[in-house]
Structure 1
Amino acid sequence: MTTVGSTSSASGIDPATMASQLVAAERAPTDTRYAATETKINAQVSAVATLRSAFSSLTLAMNALNSKSTTAARAVSLGSTTAGFTATASAGAATGNYAVEVISLASAQKLASPAFASRDTAVGTGTLSIGYGSTQLSVDVTAANNSLVGIRDAINKAAGGKGVAASIVTGDDGAHLVLTSLDGGTANAISVSASGDNGSLAALTYGAGASGGMTELTAAADAQIKVDGVLKKSASNTVTGLIDGVTFNLSAASPGTTVQMTIANDSAAQFAAVKNFADKYNAAMAAIASTTSYDVATKTAAALNGDAMVRGTTRQLRDILSGNVVDLKAMGISIAKDGTLSLSQSDFTAAMSKDGSALTRVFGSGSDTMVGKLTTVLKGLTDSGGLLDSRNDSLSIQTKKLDAQKDALDTRMAAAEARYKAQFTALDAMMTRLQSTSDFLTQQLKKSSSDD
């Protein structure tokens, strides 16, 4: 008797192994075809994702380009490194030269009380009325909170972190209650009066009619700045509204000294945005090239080689740029034979100095600009329901169809394996019976011969 695998029989047949081998041989060509189809579909899905990423990045770069913050970007330069101020200009601020004079800085008022023996010294009871700006606080001082600490806490609670803040400063002479205006300018000067007391709170008063009360440590003052001789006062050292779109930050006063300030196109920021666009455009061209290439040496085509959608998109992009080649060249932007872009910053800066509106004509928003036309093409590709979505939907359908075919093949092969196994089992049984009959007849013949 012969043993094959885990099955023993007189015939030497292993039904399970033979059935499995037959099925493997039968399904191998179909498995190979399905694997090739799956590889092709996956390659196309990956290629479409590559294009979508590149086109989305290009769209973002174009959105940044055609926004007013780029096309109308402004830069501020000062004629002195010790101007006593800095300035920023928002997009669209009027360009030009201005004479700026910082006359004075804004300051917040600070008051200090006379010295008390300690921070826990009882001052008195009554009501403190504290005024600043258009606000009037009423602070009750009772026996429970009539120390400097209690009064400080009561003032801060009433103010709620706005307008005025109270603190305690302790020196060699004793403890002082200090009131600080949280907003600069004369309009926010502090006044303090007392009522309902026996005169004990007089040491904490300040303002018209008050005597022997708090001392002014820092006077309230307004910032004063002139631009081309026009005066502007401000409660803050951050001054707006003097020139539309321009914010001044004052740091030092120099009355009688003027500094030249120039507001011009911010060509550096504009160049950075254009370069980012060129980089993303070149990356999109590289993505198209990599997904449509053909390797002559290996005779291997990329996933989207010869694809009509990609060919059409490439043609549209190149046609749009070619239609603006004169304006692009004038800004120092050249188009290579492979469709990629290169820039010269010096030529770009010179062009912007000569004609700042050129940037808007090419890279501004609007359906007639180069970027506007590119945006229309890319929206048709990347928007929901666009060409790339349609291609993904098609590939998804192909994947589902292939999965169904693979499932059907598994079902057919499982049935075939069961059928083959049953047939080989029956053959094994028949051959075992024949072997038994043969063995019996051989024994009978031997016995007959020995009897003779």
Structure 2
Amino acid sequence: MAVLSSPGVGSGLDINGLVQKLVAAERAPQQAQITRAQASTVTTISALGTLKGALGSFQNALSPLSTLSSITSRSATSSDTDIFTASASSSAVPASYDIEVLSVASAHQISSRGFLNGSAHVVGTGTLTIGVGTSNFQIAIPDTANTLAGIRDAINSATGNDNLVRATIVNGTDGAHLVLSGQTTGAANTISVAAAGGDGGLAPLAFSTGVTNQYMQPRVAADSQVRIAGSLQNSSSSTITTAIDGVTLNLLDADVGETHRLTIANDTAAVTSRIRKFVDEFNSLGRQFANLRGYEPATKRAGPLLGDSFLRAVEGEVRGKLTDRVSGLTGNYQSLAGIGITTSKDGTLTLDDTKLQAALTADFSGVAAIFGSTDGVAARLTAVITPRLATDAELDVRSKRLNEKSVALQKDLTNLDARMQKVEARYRAQFNALDSLLSKLQSSSTFLTQQLDSISKISID
């Protein structure tokens, strides 16, 4: 705020000092009230953000446990990962299979005869029609693109070449070769090239399987073939998803005459990791609950959400959903306590890993159902948390309102500055008027004193 210099000229009053003290006295209670409100608002905004973050982290830990399909992980192990790898979904049945990879699908590749002048060799003009399987596209080769490099570029940039084939130039001792590589595997996806029109120079680039051509075939178009448990399976891809329900095979190399073992099993390691994360995130959430609502008698410091009804309701519901038995279960495992997850006196969860592993070994599906069934622990907790994290839910609305309040309080401070400037101006005007009046009174007093002194001298004479 600007300070106007206006010392008392005639009266000797310290107008600056008086005005500053009066303005400060008037400003202090109002500014203190706004500052306290700002601090409280910012603290609450931060606390709600902390709560939202903790609930979000716990929700993320619940996600892979909330359905039977997400929790009942299967592991797929190949006895020779140089021949094939595999993955399995929750629908796969634990079992083992002997697999023989007879062939791996490949994409067709052809290489033209060598052109002695390299990529700059002038081949000719006309039209090329290139096919891959049942698809084809056509390109015109004019005089401006009649070199080997020009033809390569025309093929790669052709509008109809929707990732069907890629053209490259490979240089050898016999010259430059135009190499066409199909982009789709399978025996049906052979490459064909037809040349027509122009000066006839494109004729050496024509190719058709089963016909004498001026091309080599570094790689033939082939299907994958695999024997699983004695049954043959063909596929145009090296990735096979239809041979075993819920299992994806990735074929890497053929090994004719040799079988390799594929083992599908319950992935207890993955489930254990998810359950541990669930316990850790629950305990982290519990610590945040305690910090936000807590009170320290020694320091008389209260948590920012002490007594908050929203926090109290959420914590109560979350803790309540842990202890109930899961309805619909009939096996030996029907609650968290049954698989080694218990609540300590301080409200934290404790995991007995030995008991959990025994439960997973004895009844993997039963353990999964405790979390992922319709009334499972993860499903119940998700139903508590998800609505509270939704846009325009109470937590979101409160945060928005508090942010709006923070903006309004900052505006109040700006308005207070403006008001105090006016108050200062008013006080200065009043004190300047008083100073002027006192100056005049002082002048009158001096004049009267002088007159009285004159009269006194006359009387004496």
| TM-score clears 0.5 | yes
Is 1:206–1:214's contact at 8 Å kept on the other side of the alignment?
Answer: no
The separation in 2 between residues aligned to 1:193 and 1:416, in whole angstroms, is 94
The separation in 2 between residues aligned to 1:186 and 1:112, in whole angstroms, is 18
Matches within 5 A, 1:86-165: 86-114=85-113, 117-119=116-118, 132-135=132-135, 160=161, 162-165=163-166
In structure 1, the residue matched to 2:83 is 84
The separation in 1 between residues aligned to 2:220 and 2:121, in whole angstroms, is 28
Is 1:70–1:269's contact at 8 Å kept on the other side of the alignment?
Answer: no
The separation in 1 between residues aligned to 2:186 and 2:37, in whole angstroms, is 77
In structure 2, the residue matched to 1:362 is 370
The separation in 2 between residues aligned to 1:310 and 1:61, in whole angstroms, is 20
Alpha-carbon RMSD across the aligned residues, in angstroms, is 4.2
Moved more, 130-139 or 292-301: 130-139
Moved more, 375-384 or 303-312: 375-384
The separation in 1 between residues aligned to 2:175 and 2:391, in whole angstroms, is 73
The separation in 2 between residues aligned to 1:430 and 1:359, in whole angstroms, is 94
Q: CA deviation at 1:18?
A: 2.4
What is the one-letter code of the residue matched to 2:92?
A
In structure 2, the residue matched to 1:235 is 236
Aligned length: 445
In structure 1, the residue matched to 2:44 is 44
The separation in 1 between residues aligned to 2:139 and 2:408, in whole angstroms, is 80
**CA 1:269–1:440 in 2, change beyond 3 Å: closer, same or farther?**
same
Q: CA deviation at 1:288?
A: 1.8
In structure 2, the residue matched to 1:329 is 337
1:339 to 336, 342, 347: 347
For structure 1, the residue ranges without an aligned partner over 5 or more in a row are none
What is the one-letter code of the residue matched to 2:337?
K
Q: CA deviation at 1:231?
A: 0.8
Is 1:206–1:213's contact at 8 Å kept on the other side of the alignment?
Answer: no
Is 1:70–1:270's contact at 8 Å kept on the other side of the alignment?
Answer: no
The separation in 1 between residues aligned to 2:71 and 2:313, in whole angstroms, is 30
Name the SS for the 1:435 alignment partner: helix
The separation in 2 between residues aligned to 1:415 and 1:113, in whole angstroms, is 91
The separation in 2 between residues aligned to 1:439 and 1:262, in whole angstroms, is 117
In structure 1, the residue matched to 2:59 is 59
Is 2:107–2:222's contact at 8 Å kept on the other side of the alignment?
Answer: yes
In structure 1, the residue matched to 2:438 is 431
In structure 1, the residue matched to 2:385 is 378
Q: Percent identity between the aligned chains?
A: 39
1:282 and 2:283 equivalent?
yes
Is 2:195–2:205's contact at 8 Å kept on the other side of the alignment?
Answer: no
1:264-286 alpha-carbon deviations (Å, 9 max, x no partner): 23233333333333333223222
Q: CA deviation at 1:101?
A: 1.6
Name the SS for the 2:188 alignment partner: helix
Is 1:71–1:359's contact at 8 Å kept on the other side of the alignment?
Answer: no
Q: CA deviation at 1:261?
A: 1.4
Is 1:83–1:259's contact at 8 Å kept on the other side of the alignment?
Answer: no
The separation in 1 between residues aligned to 2:352 and 2:136, in whole angstroms, is 62
The separation in 2 between residues aligned to 1:34 and 1:97, in whole angstroms, is 72
**CA 1:255–1:348 in 2, change beyond 3 Å: closer, same or farther?**
farther
Q: CA deviation at 1:69?
A: 5.9
Q: CA deviation at 1:303?
A: 2.0
The separation in 2 between residues aligned to 1:117 and 1:398, in whole angstroms, is 80
Moved more, 419-428 or 95-104: 419-428
1:214-254 alpha-carbon deviations (Å, 9 max, x no partner): 44444443321111111111233222211123221112222
What is the one-letter code of the residue matched to 2:289?
I
The separation in 2 between residues aligned to 1:27 and 1:14, in whole angstroms, is 20
In structure 1, the residue matched to 2:266 is 265
**CA 1:340–1:447 in 2, change beyond 3 Å: closer, same or farther?**
same
What is the one-letter code of the residue matched to 1:89?
A
Is 1:85–1:251's contact at 8 Å kept on the other side of the alignment?
Answer: yes
Moved more, 211-220 or 305-314: 211-220
The separation in 2 between residues aligned to 1:407 and 1:152, in whole angstroms, is 70
Q: CA deviation at 1:87?
A: 0.7
Is 1:44–1:304's contact at 8 Å kept on the other side of the alignment?
Answer: yes
In structure 1, the residue matched to 2:18 is 18
Is 1:62–1:371's contact at 8 Å kept on the other side of the alignment?
Answer: yes
The separation in 1 between residues aligned to 2:143 and 2:412, in whole angstroms, is 91
The separation in 2 between residues aligned to 1:104 and 1:239, in whole angstroms, is 12
Name the SS for the 1:186 alignment partner: coil
Moved more, 111-120 or 50-59: 111-120
What is the one-letter code of the residue matched to 1:171?
G
Is 1:223–1:235's contact at 8 Å kept on the other side of the alignment?
Answer: yes
In structure 1, the residue matched to 2:331 is none
Name the SS for the 1:257 alignment partner: coil
Is 1:108–1:185's contact at 8 Å kept on the other side of the alignment?
Answer: yes
TM-score normalised by L of structure 2: 0.78
Name the SS for the 1:303 alignment partner: coil
For structure 2, the residue ranges without an aligned partner over 5 or more in a row are 327-333
The separation in 2 between residues aligned to 1:309 and 1:303, in whole angstroms, is 13
Is 1:18–1:421's contact at 8 Å kept on the other side of the alignment?
Answer: no
In structure 2, the residue matched to 1:188 is 189
In structure 2, the residue matched to 1:441 is 448
What is the one-letter code of the residue matched to 1:442?
T
1:105-146 alpha-carbon deviations (Å, 9 max, x no partner): 233444445555545667788887765422466778899887
What is the one-letter code of the residue matched to 1:107?
S
**CA 1:124–1:290 in 2, change beyond 3 Å: closer, same or farther?**
closer
**CA 1:41–1:169 in 2, change beyond 3 Å: closer, same or farther?**
closer
The separation in 1 between residues aligned to 2:224 and 2:113, in whole angstroms, is 30
Moved more, 21-30 or 255-264: 21-30
The separation in 2 between residues aligned to 1:116 and 1:47, in whole angstroms, is 74
In structure 1, the residue matched to 2:330 is none
In structure 1, the residue matched to 2:329 is none
